[in-house]
Amino acid sequence: MQQVTLTVNGREVTAEIDERTLLLEFVREVAGFTGAHNGCLEARCGCCAIEVDGEITKSCNVLAVQVDGAEVTTVEGLAPQRLAPVEHVTTQSLAGMYAPLEAVRTRAEDLHPLQEAFHRCHALQCGFCTPGMLMVLKGHLEENPEPTRDGVRHAIAGNLCRCTGYQHIVDAAMEAAEVMRGDAPVPADG
């Protein structure tokens, strides 16, 4: 067993863990943030992508002990909409965990421009790939404020989506980039 401390979305979490614990498992099962998903566990699908000290990482292909002491941001860290951490997924009511969507959307700053744009452009269907898509695209747009559609497609080359056909995801990234650059007003109603 090994003691590991991570700051997940601003909350410090210390635990004695089995050395084999993947960062993805730490974030989901120890810290309780279930936004990052396990889609393949072999660094292929991107559903588990999160930031580690500001660098995008596939959390299924990193041991928690490798990043002891790091600051981690998961999709939950993108917007302050979650009210309370998940204690027990099946018994806790969703109402206590999230602000109602209508309430969140009355204040545009509650959603990251990418989340707004995903919603607007219909860039998700089942949503399983979305947390990883958002996190990878966030990094890409921060480094490339003037992205090209081709560049966006390259950026998500390691993120698989079985539903959307990617077209709307690229649309959303391009729209979000405008908002992030300050070229477009934040849409009032989405």
In the shown chain, the binding pattern of residues 18 to 47 toward ligand FAD, with x for contact by CB under 6 A and - for none, equals -------------------------xx---
CA-nearest of 132, 40, 55 to 169 is 132
Query: Is the CB of residue 169 less than 8 Å from the CB of residue 129?
Result: no
Q: C-alpha angle 79/66/129, rounded to 5°?
A: 40
CA distances from 37 to 32, 43, 68, 111 (A): 12, 12, 21, 20
For residue 38, the partner it binds in ligand FES, ligand FAD, another protein, none, with Cβ less than 5 to 8 A by kind, is ligand FES
For residue 118, the partner it binds in ligand FES, ligand FAD, another protein, none, with Cβ less than 5 to 8 A by kind, is none
The rounded Cα 55 to chain-centroid distance in angstroms is 13
Q: Measured from the CB of residue 13, what is the shortest distance to ligand FAD in angstroms?
A: 25
In the shown chain, the binding pattern of residues 60 to 99 toward ligand FES, with x for contact by CB under 6 A and - for none, equals x---------------------------------------
Query: How many angstroms separate the CA atoms of 152 and 99, rounded?
Result: 31
- Please report, as ranges, the residues that interact with another protein according to CB under 8 A: 2, 18-20, 41-44, 46, 49, 55-58, 61-63, 65-66, 136, 139-140, 154-155, 157-159
Query: How many angstroms separate the CA atoms of 102 and 22, rounded?
Result: 35
Q: Measured from the CB of residue 43, what is the shortest distance to ligand FAD in angstroms?
A: 4
Where does this chain bind ligand FES (CB under 6 A)?
A: 38-41, 43-48, 58, 60, 124-129, 161-164
